[in-house]
Chain A
Amino acid sequence: MQIMINNLSVRLGMRTVVDDVRIDVPDGALLAVIGPNGSGKTTLLRAIYGAVRPVAGSISIGGQDLASVPARRAARLRAVVPQFQHADVGLSAHTVVGTGRHSHVGWWTHEQEADRDAVQTALRQTGAEELAPRAFSTLSGGERQRILLARALAQQAATLLLDEPTNHLDPRAQLDLLALVASLPMTRIAVLHDLDQALAHADLAAVLHQGRLVACGPPAEVLTNDLTTAVFGVRSAVIMHPLTQRPHLVTAPVVRTDMGPPDPT
């Protein structure tokens, strides 16, 4: 389903953290939201899944305005792999994945065959079957991330939102997780820190800077040296990756031309 973010603004306290952002994500696309720390990426994503309320603008998924959709119905429209989690719970990983079925099970009924199948399928997709019986709190960061992704997949929502899904993962786990996310058929929005990950996997890249959308388009067109210098304060170049023979974005510090001796601080 198509996700439309229409002139969205979010204020936290007195600060406008997301400022008049407008993005259309076409059906089936993977949008990478990138930007430096504090640029409003996570807040934008949290506004899309309803954890913070925007002060202006709207979000619609498949033409349905999320502001007028009840919580349970919204959970069928978007699943989320959030960044914040209380890992210190006594639940098994399997039960954690099972919470993804919350919107499918009526409060008066029990889990049905379809719910069990959805959980099993999600665990298989994320390669987390052997983690299921373990206590969630005993899992490593990467294992937890797989379980949270499985939870989101078990939700069987029309779209998927991910907040820095590769955080705290080792290199292998990062590659595996991104490959899996990239292979999913639904519309996805992922907040990413790594510019090369955006270049390699995303169909679209939206660049936030101080809450404003400064560029949005195919990553190869958006991620120019001028943009990374202006927004991230790093120079960048796209080279051919010697192992994969694919474009690879590398970064380097900005060369300072305005001074003599380097700043001691």
Chain B
Amino acid sequence: MPHTPTPFEPVRTRAPLGLWIGALGIGLGLVAVLGVCVGSVFIAVPEVWDVLAARTQGRVNSPVLNDTIIWEYRIPRVIAAITVGAGLTVSGVALQGLVRNPLADPYIVGVSSGASLGAVLIMVLGSGALLGLPTSAGAFLGAIGVLALVFLFAQQRGAFADSRLVLAGVAIGYVATAATSFIQLQARPGQLSGILFWSLGSVAGARWDALAIPVAVILACVAWLATKGRTLNALSLGDDAAVAVGVHLRSARLMLLIIAALCTAVTVALAGGVGFVGLIVPHAARMLVGADHRRLLPVAALLGAVFVVLIDLVARTIGSPQEFPLTIFTALIGGPFFLALMRRQRAV
């Protein structure tokens, strides 16, 4: 039997983590620049630079139109796309690790259905009927409300069994979806396209003042999860195997669930129901760097961010000046790409 000294890292040749993070970081920078420059009006990089330089000095550059497009619309929009992509992906990684089910995604715990219900209530009844809350607040409250219900039903003496979590999430999600459909039918025809657009997700409405909370929450969640890679690895081998190495099962699972739900809730409040990202991007990242969560988490977060920025770019340019919701293209473009990746993976 050939005996070679085994290096610490598995010998199977994977590019070093730094290389992936560097490449994806540069990629994210490039697509972000593209996202700022390209749109119904093309604005070249030097002009974008002028706008930014002026803004950092507290001035507004002329022409004012460029400033408005770049500063008021496109930059918040790209930041929102990055936030949504990273948030949903990281939430998917946490949930797939938590319930050890490759089909788990941020929507499986019912959070998005609750968010839709909250948002649609406000859209149909009008903000004034509900204490003047904006749609995003309705979405957030709906998400948190459903989460509380899922917690209530899924826990047994404070512990979560994965199957109960999924079942409670799916059941409560269906109830919320049914209520949403019922309310939608009461809507005026003029409101329907807005509701549809929202439920398929879009970052078109992103403004600076709506970004602070989601960005802070997602950054905090990603940072916290990045320190939990070892715990997620231990959990992936099964509950007993995790307990064996010193994981406090109950608190680890509760924290993962809260983190995942929080990421999803703020994302849905920011951009509506963007589908497919939280389910598929984690798997794509796994194919690139393997299932070791210490490597997977940062790579998946970056990959999700790149993906949604690109998808948003397609959604607003393909039929310009018409805008499309994101979920149409996350699946339409992401699906074939993912299947191709899967095929290639098997051939290796």
Contacts and interface: CB of A to CB of B under 8 A. Distances in A.
Given A92-B12, A132-B10, A86 B237 contact: yes
A46 B240 contact: yes
Nearest to A79: B244
Given A49-B243, A107-B231, A130-B6, 17 more contacts: A49-B244, A71-B243, A71-B248, A72-B246, A73-B246, A79-B245, A86-B237, A92-B12, A94-B8, A99-B230, A99-B234, A129-B3, A130-B1, A130-B2, A133-B6, A135-B12, A148-B241
Instruction: For the complex of A and B, list the 5 residue pairs with the smallest distance between their C-beta atoms, beginning with the closest.
Output: A75-B246, A90-B291, A80-B244, A103-B246, A133-B11
Given A49-B243, A90-B291, A82 B238 contact: yes
Nearest to B283: A90
Contacts of B8: 94, 111, 116, 119-120
Nearest to A91: B291
A10 interface: no
B10 A94 contact: yes
Contacts of B207: none
Contacts of B72: none
A82 B227 CA distance: 26
Interface string A35-54: 00000000000100111000
A59 B6 CA distance: 39
B241 A71 contact: no
Contact of A100 (B6, B100, B238, B245): B245
Nearest to B286: A90
Contacts of A73: 246
A103 to B, nearest CB: 4
A96 B292 CA distance: 9
Interface in B2-23: 2-3, 6, 8-12
B42 to A, nearest CB: 42
Contacts of B290: 90-92
Number of contact residues on B: which range applies? 20 to 34
Contacts of A81: 244
Contact of A151 (B238, B245, B292): B245
A52 to B, nearest CB: 10
Number of contact residues on A: which range applies? 35 or more
Interface in B219-273: 227-228, 230-231, 233-234, 236-241, 243-249
Interface string A89-110: 1111011101111110101100
A51 B231 contact: no
Interface of A: 46, 49-51, 70-76, 79-86, 89-92, 94-96, 98-103, 105, 107-108, 111, 116, 119-120, 123, 129-130, 132-135, 148, 151-152, 155
A51 B292 contact: no
11 contacts: A71-B248, A90-B291, A92-B292, A98-B233, A99-B237, A99-B241, A102-B234, A102-B245, A105-B230, A132-B11, A148-B241
Contacts of B3: 129-130
Contact of B236 (A51, A86, A100): A86
Tell me if B's interface is mostly helix, strand, loop or mixed: loop
Contacts, number: 121
Contacts of B240: 46, 49, 51, 80, 82-85
B227 A107 contact: yes
Given A71-B248, A90-B286, A133-B11, A51 B243 contact: yes
B10 A92 contact: yes
Contacts of B244: 49, 75, 79-82, 152, 155
Given A74-B246, A86-B238, A155-B245, A102 B230 contact: yes
Contacts of A100: 245
A75 B245 contact: yes
Given A80-B244, A84-B238, A95 B231 contact: no
B323 to A, nearest CB: 38
Contacts of A91: 233, 236-237, 290-292
Contacts of B246: 71-76, 102-103
B83 to A, nearest CB: 25
Nearest to B97: A89
A73 B2 CA distance: 39
A71 B233 CA distance: 16
Nearest to A100: B245
